[in-house]
């Protein structure tokens, strides 16, 4: 898997998807030389002692990523593909172990871009403690794709005794977030450039495994967590409240919103509660463990700005409302259409 110097062309051609030597050069030169997956077969062969433990379960998830621009302040499609899939595992209480990575590449895409994406994925995987163990590349004709799409799948292990899920949420639970809301969506919007928005916003894109382990150690009674990606905090809360059969009351003053995010939303008529996040999760924790969970989060970079934003109540099942500082309240409904295409 010595890939150095194998790829002598600057741009991907259809031949790189054909199954022959050109494809092998692309895969080895750009991807496997960086990821260093185990073995030479079409499948990775793996085992982790934790999976053998009585009561342990396997967690399995996937996401495709089509974010545009492919590179943005705070990340790129590769980083988001690793973080997004890791976080899908993490919010269910799983310890992430292994990722797959499949690339659909448009003819003409710069090989240098692919190298940056691979490096970004590998760096993020190492930080999150996971390995990229298997993958695939396909090439489509110019105009039949858009640069590169990345699909990751992830496998992790849920230790015995852990059972996080929206069904466990109870009235009285504190609703926590680990940090600012809407940064990713606003950063992508600004990065697209067609709005002439000049900001220093960066995506919150981050893997949350270590943070989640800290929360579960400090607040073992934690009922449920979800990463508030596409559809934003509002969609995550609506789904969870409906599944749990509770209502959720948010306190507008407590919502951690950066002034730049607030500003972009005001200019464009967007609601930050629907903006995508890629490193922000929402947690439902029994109120008597909320302080411990917050303290655990605040001691880590990804949770420095953790805060309680609301409470679960015995109200209309599935209703999420936002109470303002003036005493009024409005319903925060499920997003119907979409605010921003290709946000992740």
> Which residue in 35, 98, 180, 284 binds a second copy (CB under 8 A)?
98
DSSP 32: I
| Closer of 92 and 307 to a second copy (Cβ) | 92
CA distance 181 to 157: 28
Q: Is 337 in the site for a second copy (CB under 8 A)?
A: yes
CA distance 301 to 126: 17
As measured in angstroms, the least distance from the Cβ of 126 to a second copy is 18
Q: Is 229 in the site for a second copy (CB under 8 A)?
A: yes
- Residues in binding contact with a second copy, number by CB under 8 A: 86
Site for a second copy in 39-68 (CB under 8 A): 39-47, 51-52, 56-66
CA distance 12 to 28: 14
Q: Is 342 in the site for a second copy (CB under 8 A)?
A: yes
Which positions from 172 to 211 touch a second copy by CB under 8 A, shown as an x/- string?
----------------------------------------
> Which residue in 29, 92, 310, 318 binds a second copy (CB under 8 A)?
92
| Closer of 54 and 259 to a second copy (Cβ) | 54
| Closer of 104 and 190 to a second copy (Cβ) | 104
Site for a second copy in 6-25 (CB under 8 A): 14-15, 17-24
> Which residue in 140, 170, 254, 291 binds a second copy (CB under 8 A)?
140
Contact (Cβ atoms closer than 8 angstroms) between residue 195 and residue 269: no
SS3 of 223-250: the string is CEEEECCCCHHHHHHHHHHHHHCCEEEE
Length of the chain: 344
CA distance 189 to 186: 5
> Which residue in 124, 226, 255, 320 binds a second copy (CB under 8 A)?
226
> Which residue in 134, 203, 222, 308 binds a second copy (CB under 8 A)?
134
Phi-psi region of 29 (alpha: psi -120 to 50; beta: other; left: phi over 0): alpha
With a CB cutoff of 8 Å and minimum separation 6, the contacts of 21 are: none
């Amino acid at each position: 898997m010595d890939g150095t110097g194998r790829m002598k062309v600057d741009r991907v051609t259809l031949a790189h998807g054909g199954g022959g030597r050109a494809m092998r050069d692309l895969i080895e030169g750009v991807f496997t030389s960086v990821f260093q997956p185990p073995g030479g077969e079409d499948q990775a062969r793996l085992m982790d002692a934790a999976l053998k433990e009585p009561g342990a379960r396997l967690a399995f998830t996937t996401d495709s990523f089509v974010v545009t621009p492919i590179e943005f302040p705070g990340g790129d499609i590769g980083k988001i593909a690793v973080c997004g899939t890791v976080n899908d595992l993490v919010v269910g209480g799983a310890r992430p172990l292994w990722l797959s990575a499949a690339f659909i590449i448009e003819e003409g895409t710069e090989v240098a871009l692919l190298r940056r994406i691979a490096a970004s994925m590998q760096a993020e995987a190492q930080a999150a403690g996971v390995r990229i163990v298997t993958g695939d590349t396909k090439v489509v004709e110019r105009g039949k794709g858009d640069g590169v799409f990345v699909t990751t799948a992830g496998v992790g292990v849920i230790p015995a005794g852990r059972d996080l899920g929206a069904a466990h949420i109870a009235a009285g639970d504190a609703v926590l977030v680990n940090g600012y809301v809407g940064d990713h969506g606003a950063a992508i919007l600004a990065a697209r450039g067609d709005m002439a928005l000049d900001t220093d916003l960066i995506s919150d894109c981050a893997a949350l495994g270590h943070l989640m382990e800290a929360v579960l150690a400090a607040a073992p009674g934690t009922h449920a967590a979800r990463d508030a990606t596409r559809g934003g905090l509002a969609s995550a809360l609506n789904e969870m409240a409906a599944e749990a059969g509770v209502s959720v009351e948010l306190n507008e003053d407590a919502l951690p919103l950066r002034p730049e995010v607030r500003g972009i939303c005001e200019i464009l008529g967007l609601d930050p509660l629907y903006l995508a996040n890629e490193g922000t999760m929402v947690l439902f924790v029994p109120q008597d463990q909320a302080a411990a969970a917050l303290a655990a989060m605040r001691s880590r970079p990804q949770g420095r700005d953790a805060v309680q934003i609301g409470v679960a109540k015995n109200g209309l099942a599935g209703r999420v409302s936002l109470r303002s500082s003036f005493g009024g309240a409005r319903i925060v409904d499920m997003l119907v259409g979409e605010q921003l295409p290709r946000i992740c």
